[in-house]
A and B are shown apart, each in its own frame.
Chain A
């Protein structure tokens, strides 16, 4: 997942990467420097084109820009805040990036003399190398790529590559782009803009990154939900009509696809990981509480087909959770296949939960609820 630029720079700065002097910029704050850049903080690219990055010469202008930027929607994300930072003059802009190349099983190192370049459109202007995930290998890769730069820039680029490459490894990053990387006349360098995608699976050994997420729940809500609750629940359509309690990412995605194709609007994606519930209804209660807040919810589909989950136990937990969330009034259709499905059926008889063992028919049932609700 992409960090906000402000948080990415905090993580880099803590590891010795120089970044422009900057601060989170709220109404009434004094800019950290003038002139300064006011930059929208959203986890998406294309901020400049969308009017989310503006230069201010005065404090008043900085605040005017801030007010204009907050509330914009960029790449589907509402801008929640801005970073103000010093303008770096007189630097030579280049691009430096590190990412994981899944097909090659290596780190891909990218360098271009054209700073600010869009990677997808870079073509021949981008130089690539593959390297093993070790600091010396990444440094050697940057050394080689730097030969494409003018002589007077090579030393600074190599120094930056050594430190930023090590940081990429230290942070367990999936992507670290410095674009532009400003190479300065005195041989120094500054990471002027940063795109950092972190690996949420590495958070248990990255306490600094975890702390950055925890400090900004409004920006990292979905990742924190998974971190705290142990499962995935992502609202994909706030006006959705069908809530999903499903286990398994692939099947949940496919159900959403099939419903969407049939004109039904699913409210959420869910991989509840029923095999990890261990007799505790907390995950189900949490999911139902989220769904109870959905304004247009017409039905809930529970679909569990798992290798190990004891469905008898699951059915009991399902009823316990429904009792704990009485505000969820939408009808529940359950499809429970696997170990203990007969006992599950007995438990759900007379409970008000509709049991349907054929998945296509279960989807048709909730779709009918959604359509009838829409007519009403």
Chain B
């Protein structure tokens, strides 16, 4: 289903929002719609809010999908309800779910992972600002000011560090071909390495910016995948947490170093061995990408 997002008309994908009527969620439903996303329905347990502007609110996900033809969902429910919401979306036949919620228990994520795989679906999240194809589609709450159409794909574990990087790309006259927040949890739907294949033939992407952080082995897995099946485009990376103390989760549930496992040094070395350019500062990274892209244009 990620192929439809990266395809010619992501703005045509009909999207529902589960957990649409909370104060914050309503705001995001409007922001996503205003950005161009085809929001066809919202889902809420309560019947208090029958619609958000012209968008109808259903209490039943299966019915909403049947009546609107939705193909994807943005899930904005509380952490302990995310597993049930994913399960409902899959049962209704949806093939793409984006869960923004932070704080999903790891065992729930593991169960969701199995359900998603069995359904042949794609899950982005949790603990992510979502995904976007700038100028076309936004599923989540990536800030508009950091979004502009352009040649650089962003794959990120971190929300705010990707905002800062995205904004600076825009300020340098560059933008993004697609932006996938894989999220900061250890157990998640889509990992960096899963993105290599879908982006290999994505014509709009001319370079990839990977924003990783300490903890887990995702960056190492990405390096392994890139070494075996090169992307054929320059890959730049920024890895947060070089100075983090061991054994301490740094904000994100997945951001923890245990021994050498998950360490900054391990990720940096693995990515560099796979031909990725790893940068220490946001500023120098943006300069390097800008130079790369400009060179390609000559």
- Interface residues, chain A, CB within 8 Å of chain B? 1-2, 43-44, 75-76, 100, 102-103, 105-107, 120, 132-133, 169, 172, 174, 199-202, 204-205, 222, 232, 234, 236, 246-254, 256-258, 260-261, 266, 269, 271, 275, 305-308, 337-338, 359-360
Q: Is the CB of A76 within 8 A of B211?
A: no
Contact of A100 among B80, B110, B245, B261 (CB under 8 A): B110
Q: Is the CB of B245 within 8 A of A251?
A: no
Q: Is the CB of B141 within 8 A of A269?
A: no
* Least CB separation from A256: chain B residue: B243
Q: Is the CB of B163 within 8 A of A254?
A: no
A-B contact pairs, 16 of them (CB 8 A): A2-B247, A100-B106, A103-B217, A105-B187, A172-B106, A201-B103, A202-B106, A202-B107, A250-B240, A269-B250, A271-B251, A305-B167, A308-B28, A308-B141, A337-B167, A359-B282
Tell me the chain B residues, 94-118 only, with Cβ under 8 Å from chain A: 103-107, 110-111, 113-114, 117
The docked-state distance in angstroms from the alpha carbon of A127 to that of B167 is 48
Which residues of chain B have C-beta atoms less than 8 A from A306's C-beta? 143, 160, 163
Which residues of chain A have C-beta atoms less than 8 A from B221's C-beta? 103
Q: Is the CB of A100 within 8 A of B186?
A: yes
Which residues of chain B have C-beta atoms less than 8 A from A236's C-beta? 243-245
Q: A199-B105, A201-B106, A338-B143 are in contact. Are A253 and B214 (CB under 8 A)?
A: yes
Tell me the chain B residues, 125-148 only, with Cβ under 8 Å from chain A: 129, 141-143, 145
Q: Is the CB of B106 within 8 A of A250?
A: no
Contact of A43 among B214, B243, B247 (CB under 8 A): B247
Which residues of chain A have C-beta atoms less than 8 A from B246's C-beta? 75-76
The docked-state distance in angstroms from the alpha carbon of A366 to that of B156 is 28
* Least CB separation from A204: chain B residue: B80
Which residues of chain A have C-beta atoms less than 8 A from B248's C-beta? 222, 234
Let me know if B295 is at the binding interface, CB within 8 A: no
- Interface residues, chain B, CB within 8 Å of chain A? 24, 27-28, 79-80, 103-107, 110-111, 113-114, 117, 129, 141-143, 145, 156-164, 167, 184, 186-188, 191, 211, 213-214, 216-218, 221, 238, 240-255, 259, 261, 280-283
In the complex, besides A100-B107, A258-B281, A338-B145, 8 extra interface pairs with C-beta distance below 8 angstroms are: A75-B246, A76-B247, A234-B250, A254-B164, A258-B282, A305-B164, A307-B163, A308-B24
Q: Is the CB of B255 within 8 A of A133?
A: no
Q: A107-B110, A253-B214 are in contact. Are A307 and B142 (CB under 8 A)?
A: yes
Output the residue of A2, A76, A102 with the most chain B CB within 10 A. A102
Q: Is the CB of A261 within 8 A of B280?
A: yes
Q: Is the CB of A250 within 8 A of B160?
A: yes
Which residues of chain A have C-beta atoms less than 8 A from B164's C-beta? 251, 254, 305, 359
The docked-state distance in angstroms from the alpha carbon of A200 to that of B255 is 13
Which residues of chain A have C-beta atoms less than 8 A from B247's C-beta? 2, 43-44, 75-76
Q: Is the CB of B253 within 8 A of A201?
A: yes
Q: Is the CB of A251 within 8 A of B280?
A: no
Q: A199-B106, A269-B250 are in contact. Are A254 and B161 (CB under 8 A)?
A: yes
The docked-state distance in angstroms from the alpha carbon of A254 to that of B213 is 9
A-B pairs with lowest CB-CB distance, top 5: A250-B158, A248-B160, A249-B251, A250-B161, A253-B240
B253 CB to closest chain A CB (Å) equals 6
